[in-house]
Amino acid sequence: MHPVLTLVVQRIALGLLLLFAVSAVIFLGVAALPGDTAQAILGQSATPQALANLRAEMGLDQPALTRYFNWLGGILTGDLGTSLSNRTDIATAIGQRLGNTLFLAAWAAVISVPLAILLGLVAARYNGRWPDKLISGVTLSTISLPEFVVGYLVLYFLAVKWQLFPSVAMVFPGMGIMERLNAVILPVIVLVLVVLAHMMRMTRAAILNVMQSAYIETAELKGLSPMRVIWRHAFPNAVAPVVNVVMLNLAYLVVGVVVVEVVFVYPGMGQYLVDHVAKRDLPVVQAVGLIFAAVYIGLNIMADVISILANPRLRHPK
Amino acid sequence: MTDQLDRMVAAAKAGRISRREFVGRTTALGVSAALASALFTKAAHAQPKKGGLIRMGMQGGESTNSLDPALAASPVPFAINMSWGEMLVDVGATGELQMRLAEEVSANADATEWQFKIRQGVEFHNGKTVTAEDVVATLRRHTDEKSQSGALGIVQGITEMSASGDMVTLKLASGNADLPFLMADYHLVIQPNGGVDNPTEGVGAGPYKVVVHEPGIRHGFEKFANYWDPDLGHADQTEILVINDGTARTSAVQSGQVHMINRVDPKIAELLTRAPGVQVKNVPSRGHYVFIMHCDKAPFDNNDLRMALKLSINRQEMVDKILNGLGSIGNDFPINAAYPLFDDSIPQREYDPAAAAEHYKKSGHDGSPIILRVAQGAFPGAVEAAQLFQQSAMAAGIPLEIKREPDDGYWSNVWNVEPFCASYWGGRPVQDQMYSTAYLSSSDWNDTRFKNARFDELLLAARAELNGDTRKANYAEMANILRDEGGLILPMFNDFVEAVRDEIQGWEADPVQEMMNGRAHARCWLA
Amino acid sequence: MRIPISALVGMVFTGAFFLAAIFAPLIAPYGMAEIVGGVWDPASEAHWLGTDAIGRDLLSRMIYGGQTTIFVASAATVLSFTLGSVLGFSAAVAGGWTDQGLSRLVDLVMAIPALILALVVLSVLPVTLTVLILVMGLLDSTRVFRLARAVAVDITVMDYVEAARLRGEGWGWIIFREILPNALSPLVAELGLRFIFAVLFISTLSFLGLGVQPPLADWGGIVKENASGLVYGIPAALIPAFAIAALAISVNLVADWVLSRTTSLKGGRG
């Protein structure tokens, strides 16, 4: 077997073990948190009697370990169980929310990743001159404003003042693709503004780092145009840091966009997790936690594999 | 002149001006006062237009919400219950009892036995007729030993219930002159067979049928064709969108994506009124924002210390800065003029740093910082209010230390656990219910650990008392006891601040609960 | 040595922010918690930036808030970089099971939702600035680790590292003399961005209750306290947001300059 393939198989196996560990850690963590599912659901005005009844019905009177193994048994047979707080089927609810989250993340990624890399290349090409400064200045300003500030400004100008797009990005099953796209435009704009700078800055830095190497000098002496040197010779050697930063931002787009979801009323995974952590609804928290963990682990594997494939010395180890 | 009059009438129709203002301005135009008043009545009660889709954007919904009316505990589930559900009675805008599924209510002489005559020919959404048995089954589900209902505490005093023909009879352990008001609680929506078979079915006898239920996202309703009350449910369809972020909510109403929103941040109410097409409505309510001390825990077990803290809070400043004037100052007991039998002769407590310092000295407190726990979610502006409190107390030489707690878990880990924290209470329809809920010695939610034998005695006596004057005297004495000895620091009563678009007609001030008692979408219509 | 204008601007601003932070009590015109006016008063002679949502002098709050923001963000960034890059480089140089163990541990920490982690920390540890810095530093160090390791792995297979190994140089020598100089450029760029993220992260954690306690507030916290006024152009919401952006850009201008210095330091074509 090719060494890269071996690595992938090995990492996936370890990844599954890691998921198991993550689920245990989340379970222990949330179970140890002060606060109580029944109280959280019934709110401030519940009586102790009602709380006790609800706890019994939700099976919270059983020991934590029993509940964990029951849950684990369910997962292994493909059953995510039902939510404690509203007794809905978790798989259905998550299916919808995850679809929404991936839809939003995919559009934001498709726009931001190529744009960031392109801007990074341009900034590196014109290092220290005005295009570089302009690109850096603009992207750094948008990244350094808190997400909700970018969100509010976009909301105010594009939805309220000029009324170009709907302020509420609510999507629901049965919606046409064009309607859906129209709904997510504002959150996509905000997400692109938020993730652009990191990837762009890293592309620029990584390329400037390899521009000093001897082989670049050779390429330049061959009389190739600067952009061609950067794209064909410098960029492939700058892939490792860039790809890691890209993966970090992709992970953020999937698991970390709760603020943007709240501002644009977008029904994604972030708010779903926050609501259920607040209610200490463990089966849901566990299920969402597993998905988020899988995203991180999967993206990290991808980043490592791409880094290896991009580097000839790593691709063909001696 | 007719131009001006027309404009005035239009304004009255849209609910933009009050009767007093209307009469004042039109009489200035030479119209007689009687005619002006009649004109206003006609304009304000213009024939509702049927049809269309009304959308409400509301704060207070979560993806964990369920359709089980017993589990409703936040604004959106409350409004959902009020959409598809109907209770025996409602509480009207002036605090009067309105007959809903009950047609008549009567009691025996000592208010220990109550009879409700059930309205005939009312249908549930599934076509079944509403019967006295359904009512009893519903109440039973909420009072049951195994009940998880948010209304469990409210209906606990009922010892026996029975149905015969169209009459429901409830027997109480002790007399309660206010029992019918308890039946207006929003958890107690009547369900077929009490909802025992499927609590989350969402089938009731309310104006709207549930068609879309996506918790934490949106809830869609369709007019129930056989609804019994022609004065409710004008739009064909209504929708509640869950919009928890304040700016997102105001943006949605400004851009016309929703017709009305709840909980406008008082700070921006004035700024929002400048937006075209949107009106901001504020309604004095019974809800109040509080700081609560446990009377049985040091250092709050010392009444001088409690009094020092009560005197060291600047109520007017709180109303001005936290509520932006959209509210009224409190007086350290949980009742205001919106309640029946309110005694307005009780002296108002003022900010008095000198007197506070004196009480503080007398309390013998060691001068170490007193920890006040607070969270954003304790009430809107709670963290800011705590900082105002800290500053006004510092002027009296009382050191407060603010500890911000996470919203997450606040109601289970801090409130009713820690001895000094921020909290809020929504109002209750009657004084008895408010006092019984949180200030009776034996109450489950006695969050100030206030135990006073005389107070309990007065409360129980007033409950069974049918003479209004005697009750009022009892309530006044209780208010004084609580005000001078209790663990409650009540700086302010909040208004409901809501925003409504111009195309919405029929909007009325209703102090009972926010959004016209949760039925703004059913009571209003589209122009 | 000529310092480019952009770097100079960056240094002047960064320096001004840091100086204001250090000497906050001396230059702030009012107390941080003192109520001196009405809600969102506009700028005036007495209050140069106006007042905040409960009538405190915004300029004074900005100066004190800058102290917290800059101190906590700098400390957390230093921690995350030291820890992340040292462990990342070690993993790359050592390879084998050391690498595997460290990398998978990092995967595990990254995979746990930050909200849950923060709530757990909050429930078991006292809420102090030290804990805040530790939590922020540890969470961020996993990101730095991934980057540092990825860059270092590319370098460890270079001939000059092979040569150093064959010469029998120790890990420390390889890490600090061979890898660090060649990995500095991406790391410096990352440092500039991590600093921004740290500045923004403080207020997120503070609003969970983990971190800065009122009446003290960091800049992000001041934006949040006044957030509802943002779209109405209330200065109390906009000014701290702009201050964060200004700090972020100046720090990164300095980082750019350091970056260009390091690339030329490496030799090559000077």
pLDDT digit string, tens, across residues C223-270:
999 999 998 989 999 999 999 999 988 998 888 888 777 766 554 333
**pLDDT at residue A187 is higher than 90:** yes
Looking at the structure, tell me whether residues B110 and B217 fall in a common domain: no
pLDDT of residue A5: 87
Q: Is residue B472 part of a domain?
A: yes
Q: Is residue C132 part of a domain?
A: yes
> Residue range B17-33: average pLDDT?
70
Cβ–Cβ of B404/C230 closer than 8 Å?
Answer: no
Q: Is residue C111 part of a domain?
A: yes
For B412, the closest of A40, A85, A167 (CB atoms) is A40
pLDDT band at residue A267 under the 50/70/90 scheme: very high
CATH of the domain at B367: 3.10.105.10
pLDDT band at residue C118 under the 50/70/90 scheme: confident
pLDDT of residue A6: 87
Q: Does A263 touch chain B (CB under 8 A)?
A: yes
pLDDT of residue B42: 66
> Side chain identity at A228, as an amino acid letter?
R
> Residue range B301-315: average pLDDT?
97
> Residue range C140-145: average pLDDT?
95
> Residue range A256-279: average pLDDT?
90
Q: Is residue C37 part of a domain?
A: no
Question: Total domain count for chain B?
Answer: 4
Alpha-carbon distance of A176 to C244, in angstroms, equals 40
> Residue range B353-375: average pLDDT?
96
For C193, the closest of A19, A156, A198 (CB atoms) is A198
> Residue range A285-304: average pLDDT?
92
- The answer to whether C64 touches C24, Cβ cutoff 8 Å, is yes
**pLDDT at residue B7 is higher than 80:** no
For chain B, percent of residues with pLDDT exceeding 70 = 93
Q: Is residue B201 part of a domain?
A: no
Domains present along chain A, CATH in parentheses? 99-279 (1.10.3720.10)
How is residue C118 written in tokens?
Answer: 């923060």
> Side chain identity at C173, as an amino acid letter?
W
**pLDDT at residue B149 is higher than 70:** yes
**pLDDT at residue B57 is higher than 90:** yes
Looking at the structure, tell me whether residues B464 and B435 fall in a common domain: yes
- The answer to whether B287 touches B412, Cβ cutoff 8 Å, is no
pLDDT of residue A204: 92
pLDDT of residue C268: 39
Mutating which of B264, B321, B324 best tests the C interface, going by the most C Cβ atoms within 10 A?
A: B321
Alpha-carbon distance of B214 to A75, in angstroms, equals 25
What values do phi and psi take at B401, rounded to 5? -115, 125
* Closest CA–CA distance from residue B404 to any residue of chain C (Å): 5
Is residue B167 classed as helix, strand or coil in its secondary structure? strand
Q: Does A287 touch chain C (CB under 8 A)?
A: no
Chains with at least 3 CB pairs less than 8 angstroms from chain C:
A, B
Cβ–Cβ of B404/C214 closer than 8 Å?
Answer: yes
Q: How far is CA B133 from CA A167, B98, B168, in A?
A: 47, 21, 8
Alpha-carbon distance of B162 to B450, in angstroms, equals 36
Range from B239-243, B366-370, C182-186 carrying the lowest mean pLDDT: C182-186
pLDDT of residue B11: 64
pLDDT of residue A1: 65
Looking at the structure, tell me whether residues B412 and B308 fall in a common domain: yes
Q: How far is CA B379 from CA A295, B338, B401, in A?
A: 36, 20, 19
Looking at the structure, tell me whether residues B371 and B449 fall in a common domain: yes
**pLDDT at residue A318 is higher than 60:** no
* Closest CA–CA distance from residue C38 to any residue of chain B (Å): 7
* Closest CA–CA distance from residue C40 to any residue of chain B (Å): 9
pLDDT band at residue A45 under the 50/70/90 scheme: low
Beta partners for residue B210, in sequence order: B221
> Residue range B254-261: average pLDDT?
95
pLDDT of residue C270: 30
Looking at the structure, tell me whether residues B356 and B411 fall in a common domain: yes
Mean pLDDT of chain C: 88
Write out pLDDT tens, residues B316-326. Answer: 999 999 999 99
Q: Is residue B371 part of a domain?
A: yes
Hey, which residues 180-209 in chain C have their CB within 8 Å of chain A?
A: 182, 185-186, 188-190, 192-193, 196, 199-200, 203
Q: Is residue C41 part of a domain?
A: no
Looking at the structure, tell me whether residues B334 and B470 fall in a common domain: yes
Alpha-carbon distance of B378 to B413, in angstroms, equals 12
Total H helices, total E strands in chain A:
16, 0
* Closest CA–CA distance from residue B398 to any residue of chain C (Å): 15
Cβ–Cβ of B215/A47 closer than 8 Å?
Answer: no
CATH of the domain at B137: 3.90.76.10
Mutating which of A18, A36, A144, A306 best tests the C interface, going by the most C Cβ atoms within 10 A?
A: A144
- The ipTM, to two decimals, is 0.90
CA dihedral A11, A17, A20, A24 (to 10 degrees): -110
Where is pLDDT greater, at A128 or A104? A104
CATH of the domain at B212: 3.40.190.10
For C228, the closest of B265, B402, B403 (CB atoms) is B265
> Residue range A78-89: average pLDDT?
83
Most distant CA atoms of chain B, gap in Å: 72
> Side chain identity at A117, as an amino acid letter?
I
Cβ–Cβ of C147/A217 closer than 8 Å?
Answer: no
Q: How far is CA A79 from CA A60, A287, B348, in A?
A: 19, 10, 61
Domain extent, residue C214, equals 5-30+49-262
CATH of the domain at C86: 1.10.3720.10
> Residue range B176-191: average pLDDT?
93
**pLDDT at residue B285 is higher than 90:** yes
Question: Total domain count for chain C?
Answer: 1
Looking at the structure, tell me whether residues B107 and B230 fall in a common domain: no
Q: Which long-range contacts (CB under 8 A, 24 or more apart) does B162-167 make?
A: B162/B136, B163/B131, B163/B132, B163/B133, B163/B135, B163/B136, B164/B132, B165/B132, B166/B117, B166/B118, B166/B120, B166/B131, B166/B132, B167/B115, B167/B116, B167/B117, B167/B118, B167/B132
Q: Is residue B63 part of a domain?
A: no
User: Judging by beta carbons within 10 Å of its beta carbon (0-12, 13-18, 19+), is residue C112 exposed, middle or buried?
Assistant: buried
Mean pLDDT of chain A: 87
> Residue range C177-201: average pLDDT?
90
Q: Does B139 touch chain A (CB under 8 A)?
A: no
Dihedral sign, Cα of residue A22, residue A28, residue A33, residue A36: positive
Q: Does A277 touch chain C (CB under 8 A)?
A: yes
> Residue range C10-27: average pLDDT?
90
Q: Is residue B225 part of a domain?
A: yes
CA dihedral C202, C207, C211, C213 (to 10 degrees): 120
Domain extent, residue B229, equals 206-283+496-526
* Closest CA–CA distance from residue B272 to any residue of chain C (Å): 9
Q: Does C256 touch chain A (CB under 8 A)?
A: yes
Q: Is residue C42 part of a domain?
A: no
Cβ–Cβ of B376/C119 closer than 8 Å?
Answer: no
Range from A28-42, B328-342, C213-227 carrying the lowest mean pLDDT: A28-42
**pLDDT at residue B33 is higher than 80:** no
Looking at the structure, tell me whether residues B114 and B182 fall in a common domain: yes
Looking at the structure, tell me whether residues B159 and B230 fall in a common domain: no
CA neighbours closer than 13 Å in the CB half-sphere of residue C184? 18
Looking at the structure, tell me whether residues B145 and B213 fall in a common domain: no
Chains with at least 3 CB pairs less than 8 angstroms from chain A:
B, C
> Side chain identity at A41, as an amino acid letter?
I
Hey, which residues 224-253 in chain C have their CB within 8 Å of chain A?
A: 224, 227, 230-231, 237, 241, 244-245, 247-249, 252
pLDDT band at residue B41 under the 50/70/90 scheme: low
Query: In B, which residues are within 8 Å of C33 by CB distance?
Result: 387, 390-391
Alpha-carbon distance of B457 to B464, in angstroms, equals 11
Radius of gyration of chain A (CA): 24
> Residue range C175-179: average pLDDT?
87
> Residue range B155-163: average pLDDT?
88
Query: In B, which residues are within 8 Å of C39 by CB distance?
Result: 267, 320-321, 324
Hey, which residues 97-126 in chain A have their CB within 8 Å of chain C?
A: none
Q: Is residue B174 part of a domain?
A: yes
pLDDT of residue B365: 95
Cβ–Cβ of C186/A146 closer than 8 Å?
Answer: no
Cis peptide before B299 (omega within 30 of 0): yes
Query: Which residue, among A209, A204, A149, has the nearest Cα to C252 in the 3D structure?
Result: A204
Using alpha carbons only, what angle is made at residue B107 by residues B104 and B111, rounded to the nearest 5 degrees? 145
pLDDT band at residue B373 under the 50/70/90 scheme: very high
Q: How far is CA B154 from CA B143, B302, C115, in A?
A: 9, 32, 36
